[in-house]
Amino acid sequence: MGATVCAAVEAAPDMELVARIDAGDDLAQVAAAGAQVAVDFTVPAVTEDNVHALIDLGVHAVVGTTGWTDVSRGRLVAHLGRKAAEGTSVGVLIAPNFGLSAVLAMTFAAKAARYFESAEVIELHHPNKVDAPSGTATHTAGAIAKARAEAGLGASPDATESGWEARGADVDGVRVHAVRLRGLVAHEEILFGNEGEQLVIRQDSFDRVSFMPGVLLGIREVVSRPGLTVGLENVMDLS
Amino acid sequence: MGATVCAAVEAAPDMELVARIDAGDDLAQVAAAGAQVAVDFTVPAVTEDNVHALIDLGVHAVVGTTGWTDVSRGRLVAHLGRKAAEGTSVGVLIAPNFGLSAVLAMTFAAKAARYFESAEVIELHHPNKVDAPSGTATHTAGAIAKARAEAGLGASPDATESGWEARGADVDGVRVHAVRLRGLVAHEEILFGNEGEQLVIRQDSFDRVSFMPGVLLGIREVVSRPGLTVGLENVMDLS
Amino acid sequence: MGATVCAAVEAAPDMELVARIDAGDDLAQVAAAGAQVAVDFTVPAVTEDNVHALIDLGVHAVVGTTGWTDVSRGRLVAHLGRKAAEGTSVGVLIAPNFGLSAVLAMTFAAKAARYFESAEVIELHHPNKVDAPSGTATHTAGAIAKARAEAGLGASPDATESGWEARGADVDGVRVHAVRLRGLVAHEEILFGNEGEQLVIRQDSFDRVSFMPGVLLGIREVVSRPGLTVGLENVMDLS
Amino acid sequence: MGATVCAAVEAAPDMELVARIDAGDDLAQVAAAGAQVAVDFTVPAVTEDNVHALIDLGVHAVVGTTGWTDVSRGRLVAHLGRKAAEGTSVGVLIAPNFGLSAVLAMTFAAKAARYFESAEVIELHHPNKVDAPSGTATHTAGAIAKARAEAGLGASPDATESGWEARGADVDGVRVHAVRLRGLVAHEEILFGNEGEQLVIRQDSFDRVSFMPGVLLGIREVVSRPGLTVGLENVMDLS
C169 contacts on D by Cβ (under 8 Å): 163, 165-166
**Nearest Cβ partner for B199 among D101, D209, D238:** D101
Q: Which residue of B has its CA nearest to D207?
A: B196
In chain D, residues with a C-beta closer than 8 Å to the C-beta of A185 are: 206
Q: Give per-residue pLDDT as tens, D175-224.
A: 999 999 999 999 999 999 999 999 999 999 999 889 999 999 999 999 99
Would you call A146 a catalytic residue per the annotation?
A: no
Own/partner pairs for D2-11, CB < 8 Å, 24+ apart?
Answer: D2/D41, D4/D208, D4/D209, D4/D211, D4/D212, D5/D39, D5/D41, D5/D212, D5/D215, D8/D209, D8/D212, D8/D215, D8/D216, D9/D39, D9/D216, D9/D219
Residue A239 has pLDDT above 80, yes or no: no
pLDDT(B198) > 90? yes
| pLDDT tens, residue by residue, A19-38 | 999 988 999 999 999 999 99
Distance from CA of C210 to the nearest CA of B (A): 8
Q: Which backbone phi and psi does C186 adopt, to 5 degrees?
A: -150, 120
Spatial CA neighbour of D57 closest among D17, D29, D22: D29
Q: How far is D146 from chain C (nearest CA, A)?
A: 19
Mean pLDDT, rounded, for A56-65 = 97
Show which subunits contact C, needing at least 3 CB pairs below 8 angstroms. Answer: A, B, D
Give the mean pLDDT of A201-225.
Answer: 95
Q: Are A166 and A122 in contact (CB under 8 A)?
A: no
Residue of B nearest to C183 (CA): B206
CA distance A139 to D212: 37
* Chain C residues close to D195, C-beta within 8 Å: 182-183
Cβ contact, residue pair D204, A183, below 8 Å: yes
Give residue B118's pLDDT band: very low, low, confident or very high (50, 70, 90).
very high
Residue of B nearest to C203 (CA): B183
Query: Per-residue pLDDT averaged across D30-43, rounded?
Result: 96
CA pair distance C230, A145, nearest whole angstrom: 30
Q: Are D189 and D124 in contact (CB under 8 A)?
A: yes
pLDDT in tens, D59-92: 999 999 999 999 999 999 999 999 999 999 999 9
> Quick check: A30 and A19 in contact, CB under 8 A?
yes
Among B22-26, B102-106, C57-61, the range scoring the smallest mean pLDDT is: B22-26
Residue D142: predicted pLDDT: 98
The pLDDT value recorded for residue D165 is 97
Is the CB of C180 less than 8 angstroms away from the CB of D169? no
**Confidence at residue B208, expressed as pLDDT on a 0 to 100 scale:** 82
Scanning every residue of chain D, which has its alpha carbon at the shortest distance from the alpha carbon of B198?
A: D204
For the segment A135-143, the average pLDDT, to the nearest whole number, is 96
Contact list in C for residue A201 (CB cut-off 8 A) is 108, 199-202
Task: Give catalytic residues of D, as residue numbers.
Answer: 125, 129
C131–D197: do the CB atoms touch at under 8 Å? no
pLDDT at A208: 82
Q: How far apart are CA B37 and CA B35, in angstroms?
A: 5
Residue B210 distance to chain D (closest CA, Å):
5
Catalytic one of A125, A139, A177, A187: A125
Instruction: Name residues of chain C where pLDDT drops below 50.
Output: none
Chain C residue numbers with beta carbons less than 8 Å from the beta carbon of A196 are 205-210
Neighbours of C205 (CB within 10 A): 24
Confidence (pLDDT) at C171? 98
- Residue D239 scores a pLDDT above 80: no
| C-beta atoms surrounding D164 within 10 Å | 14
Express as a percent the part of chain D with pLDDT over 90.
96
Choose the closest CB to D193 out of C132, C176, C182: C182
Q: What structural domains and CATH numbers belong to chain B?
A: 2-94+209-235 (3.40.50.720), 100-206 (3.30.360.10)
SS3 B21: coil
Chain A residues within an 8 Å CB radius of B185: none
- Subunit partners of chain B (3 or more CB pairs within 8 A): A, C, D
CB contact under 8 A, B200 and D198: no
Nearest beta carbon to residue B204 from set D115, D198, D208: D198
- Smallest Cβ–Cβ distance between A197 and the set C100, C196, C217 belongs to C100
Is D204 in contact with B217 (Cβ distance < 8 A)? no
Inter-chain contacts counted by CB atoms under 8 A, chains A and B = 164
Strand order in the sheet with B37-40: B37-40, B60-63, B91-94, B227-230
Pairing of strands C169-171, D118-125: unpaired
Using CA atoms, how far apart are residues A107 and C116, in angstroms rounded to an integer? 16
Q: Show residues of chain B in contact with D199, CB under 8 Å.
A: 100-101, 104-105, 201-204
Residues on chain D bordering chain A, Cβ-to-Cβ distance under 8 angstroms: 183, 185, 204, 206, 210
Residue C15 makes CB contacts below 8 A (sequence gap 6+) with C9, C216, C219
The pLDDT of A100-122, averaged and rounded, is 98
What ipTM goes with this model? 0.92
- What does the DSSP 8-state code read for residue A36? S
Measure the CA–CA gap between C101 and C121, rounded to whole angstroms: 16
* pLDDT tier for residue B239 given thresholds of 50, 70 and 90: confident
Q: Which of A8, A29, A161, A166 is nearest to A98 (CA)?
A: A8
Which residues on chain A are in Cβ contact (under 8 Å) with D206?
183, 185, 206
pLDDT of residue C141: 98
**Mean pLDDT value of segment B180-193:** 98
**B-to-D residue pairs, Cβ atoms closer than 8 angstroms:** 125
| Calpha distance A127→A184 (Å, rounded) | 8
**B199 vs D100: CB contact, 8 Å cut-off?**
yes
Please enumerate residues of C whose Cβ is less than 8 A from a Cβ of A: 99-102, 104-105, 108, 111-112, 114-116, 192, 194-210, 212-213, 217, 236-239
pLDDT at A216 over 80: yes
Distance from CA of A33 to the nearest CA of C (A): 30
| Pairing between β-strand C91-94 and β-strand C118-125 as defined by DSSP bridges | unpaired
Binary contact (A118, B182; C-beta < 8 A): yes
Alpha-carbon span D77 to D94, nearest angstrom: 12
